[in-house]
Amino acid sequence: MAEAGIFHPEERVELIAGQIIRMSAKGTAHTAAVRRTAKIWRNLLENQAEVYTQDPIQLDDFSEPEPDIAVVRIDPLDYADHHPTPSEVYLIIEVADSSFKYDRETKAKAYAKSGIADYWVLDVIDRKLHVFREPTQEGYHSEVILCEDASVSPLQFPEEAIALQDILPPVIAQ
């Protein structure tokens, strides 16, 4: 569509349930959290998984979101012939500032319907992490909300705990 001039080539959009959704601009807290989270996961998981930032994953023929963080199976071709699919995804993390409701509802339902077992929404405004697990066709059966002093491990890598304070942007005194 960008090539056809429908969207500007650099316009931020993603495909969810057959709908093209315009994505809002990234705030500084969002950007900082994505960078911090990706850096920590890359260091922790080195040769166990790939950590992608804001790259597409293919849920089905109608949904190709670009999650903030996707921890995926290592592919020998580096996904040159396809985007990661749900069976290749270990963990999805969306960082939410203005997008919290959308990430928690619309995206959570799409990820659950696709069978993504571990989906997290990092709320940088309220400084909490929403951990969604037990996906069904209707959504996730389990949602645990962790405060910023907690730690959490992904289902696929239970030995790798991450402290929320390490992935949240620092509080800047004003």
- The CATH number for 41's domain is 3.90.1570.10
Can you spell out the DSSP letters for the chain? -TTTTSS-TT--EEEETTEEEEPPPPPHHHHHHHHHHHHHHHHHHTTT-EEEES-----BTTBB---SEEEE---TTTTSSS---GGGEEEEEEEESTTHHHIIIIIHHHHHHTT-SEEEEEETTTTEEEEEEEE-SS-EEEEEEEETT-EE--SS-TT--EEHHHHSPPPPP-
Q: Which two tokens stand for residue 52?
A: 């992608």
pLDDT of residue 170: 84
Average pLDDT, whole number, for the chain?
A: 88
Residue 122 identity: L
- What's the total number of domains in the chain? 1
pTM for this prediction: 0.85
Burial string for 95-119 (b: 16+ CB within 10 Å, else e) reads bbbebbebbbebbbbbbbbbebbbb
Judge whether 4 lies within some domain. no
pLDDT of residue 21: 55
Judge whether 65 lies within some domain. yes
- Rounded average pLDDT over 4-28: 54
pLDDT of residue 103: 93
Judge whether 59 lies within some domain. yes
Judge whether 87 lies within some domain. yes
pLDDT of residue 42: 96
pLDDT of residue 154: 97
Residue 165's region, left for phi above 0, alpha for psi from -120 to 50, else beta, is alpha
34: nearest Cα among 88, 87, 89, 103: 103
- The whole domain housing 139 covers 26-167
Judge whether 14 lies within some domain. no
- Rounded average pLDDT over 45-70: 93
Residue 58 identity: Q
Q: Which two tokens stand for residue 159?
A: 């030995």
Number of Cα atoms under 13 Å in the Cβ half of residue 164: 21
pLDDT, tens only, 107-162? 999 999 999 999 999 999 999 999 999 999 999 999 999 999 999 999 999 999 99
pLDDT of residue 12: 52
pLDDT of residue 62: 84
